[in-house]
Amino acid sequence: MKLAGLLKDMEYEVLRGSLDTDIEALVYDSRKADKNCLFVCIQGSNADGHDFVEDVSLAGAAAIVVSEDIELPAGDAVIIKVSDTRYALACISAAYFGHPAKKLSIIGVTGTKGKTTTTYLIKSILENAGRKVGLIGTIEVIIGDEHIHAGNTTPESYLLQKYFRQMADAGLDTVVMEASSQAFKLHRTAGFVFDYGIFTNLSPDHIGPNEHASFEEYTECKSMLFRQCRVGIVNGDDEHLGEVIKNHTCELETFGMKPNLDIWAENVRLLNEKGSLGVAFNTKGLMELNIELPMPGLFSVHNALAAIAICAHYNVSRKDVTDAVKNAKVKGRIEPVKVSDDFTLLIDYAHNAVALQSIITALREYKPKRIVTVFGCGGNRAKSRRFEMGEVSGRLSDFTIITSDNPRFEEPLDIIADIRTGIDKTSGKYIEIPDRKEAIKYAIGHGEPGDIIILAGKGHEDYQEIKGTKYPMDERTLIEEALKELSEEKA
């Protein structure tokens, strides 16, 4: 593959060498640089590729892409200068893999909450209608029968294009993917156009030293989807919608609870039967349906509406939509685990105050006898999150069980003490049980008829990170073990 072909449609300056150079590999990790590769210098959180230009050149790289002024390295590697190497990596990756996005219908979902659930709902509906759908998101990447553990909500641009290539080669026709604000900020999604973009909702999150400088920047990054898609499908009920669609270049459609939107829900009913929670509603507008969804809360209605609105563009039958939605289930997202006919147990990924408040508030609508919240907080993360989550649970839960999450390099009891600081600002009742399995066992063993128990924070994660090591730990397994022990103790 010629260097000229990889740089087509890009703005660049040749500092040394010829574009007629053959390229055998595309690399952005200096440790993987090899003979005849094209190396792109990326500024990471821990290292800058520009610091390794000399090493990469000596390793035999055929060409190097930079965005900073550098001293030309030894050897004869072609040196290309661009304004932004991350943007360049995305465009070069698309060309390197043969622009696979052009062979696929691509749906991007952005928002603070609901991305994961919405992508799985879309996948379920479209597959029910006979389409072959790949998925890229927080939990995993799905290519046919292959499930690949996800490192980021939206992978680096090179890996994203590689997945697109694998999906196209596997005969898939559609991709639904989570598009994070970080992905837009770091240009991971450059180099192709989304056919459809979905906006779920927006609230302050991911604001900090290693994420976004402000809520305004966070909002701006979310809005980039609607300058990179052909059709935008947006939550017409969200208070920040105006900022999100500002300067959009796509066609727009809306969903929500208001009758003036393109598709809206009415006659919303809460479902609660033998420990199973859900919601039912009717849709009007683009599609008129009677929907039963085995996921609780009004936010679940919005997620389902987004998925239904997209599927209206794929000529999906009414039956395929209702059947797929009725059987929907997403690992770690308000995921029900049957433990009793008397009370409900849910696993959810809520790992910050906004998400925890949202789920507890939604579950209050079901008028439970008690809401019992089991959660911890991750180590080596902002302490403010611990205080905030403690205060939210103390204020909104009837009882809190403070336990361990991923302590990482911190002591679990120190993290629990910080959570306690937040909960002590309220009159909420709580107990501290550092061992997560014992905490779950306590919650189930003390469950009362009409209770809703929330296991918050871990969600889809199947590990616990302690002192740099990830140990296997799946809450579903912990629940099984706790039930077995409780049964044996009762006997």
Q: Are strands 78-81 and 13-16 parallel, antiparallel or unpaired?
A: antiparallel
- Cα–Cα distance for residue pair 465/442, rounded to 1 Å: 22
Instruction: Indicate the pTM of the whole model.
Output: 0.90
- Cα–Cα distance for residue pair 265/288, rounded to 1 Å: 9
Q: DSSP for 282-344, please give it.
A: EEEES--EEEEESS-SHHHHHHHHHHHHHHGGGT--HHHHHHHHHT---TTSSEE----SSSE
Structure tokens at 383: 């302490």
Q: Is 38 exposed, middle or buried (0-12, 13-18, 19+ CB in 10 A)?
A: buried
Find, among 365, 433, 357, the residue nearest to 395 by Cα: 357
Q: Residue 102 in 3-state DSSP?
A: helix
DSSP 3-state percent helix, strand, coil across the chain (nearest 5)? 35, 25, 40
Q: DSSP for 365-412, please give it.
A: TT--S-EEEEE---SSS-HHHHHHHHHHHHHH-SEEEE--S--BTS-H
Question: Is the CATH code 3.40.1390.10 the one for domain 3-96?
Answer: yes
Question: Do 439 and 374 form a contact (C-beta atoms < 8 A)?
Answer: yes
Q: Which residue has the tokens 């610091």?
A: 51
- Cα–Cα distance for residue pair 460/415, rounded to 1 Å: 22
- Cα–Cα distance for residue pair 303/281, rounded to 1 Å: 13
- Cα–Cα distance for residue pair 381/241, rounded to 1 Å: 30
Tell me the β-bridge partners of 283: 265, 289
- Cα–Cα distance for residue pair 402/375, rounded to 1 Å: 5
- Cα–Cα distance for residue pair 116/331, rounded to 1 Å: 9
Find, among 127, 128, 122, the residue nearest to 136 by Cα: 122
Would you kindly state where each structural domain of the chain is located, as residue ranges?
3-96, 100-326, 335-490
**100-326 and 335-490 in the same fold:** no
Question: Do 163 and 191 form a contact (C-beta atoms < 8 A)?
Answer: no
Question: Is the CATH code 3.30.590.20 the one for domain 100-326?
Answer: no
Q: Where are the beta strands (DSSP E) in 4-149?
A: 13-16, 25-27, 37-40, 63-66, 78-81, 105-110, 133-136, 140-143, 146-149
- Cα–Cα distance for residue pair 282/288, rounded to 1 Å: 7
Amino acid at 246: K
- Cα–Cα distance for residue pair 223/243, rounded to 1 Å: 7
Question: Do 245 and 252 form a contact (C-beta atoms < 8 A)?
Answer: yes
Architecture of domain 335-490: Alpha-Beta Complex (3.90)
Q: What is the pLDDT along the chain (491 residues), one digit of tens a residue?
A: 999 999 998 999 999 999 999 999 999 999 999 999 999 999 887 889 999 999 999 999 999 999 999 999 998 999 999 999 999 999 999 999 999 999 999 999 999 889 999 999 999 999 999 999 999 999 999 999 999 999 888 999 999 999 999 999 999 999 999 999 989 999 999 999 999 999 999 986 655 556 666 888 889 999 999 999 999 999 999 999 999 999 999 999 999 999 999 999 999 999 998 778 999 999 999 999 999 999 999 899 999 999 999 998 999 999 999 999 999 889 999 999 999 999 999 999 999 998 999 999 999 999 999 999 999 999 998 899 999 999 999 999 999 999 999 999 999 999 999 999 999 999 999 999 999 999 999 999 999 999 999 999 999 999 999 999 999 999 999 999 999 999 999 88
Q: What is the pLDDT of residue 92?
A: 98
* Buried-state track 131-143, b at ≥16 Cβ within 10 A, e below 16: bebbbbbbbbbbb
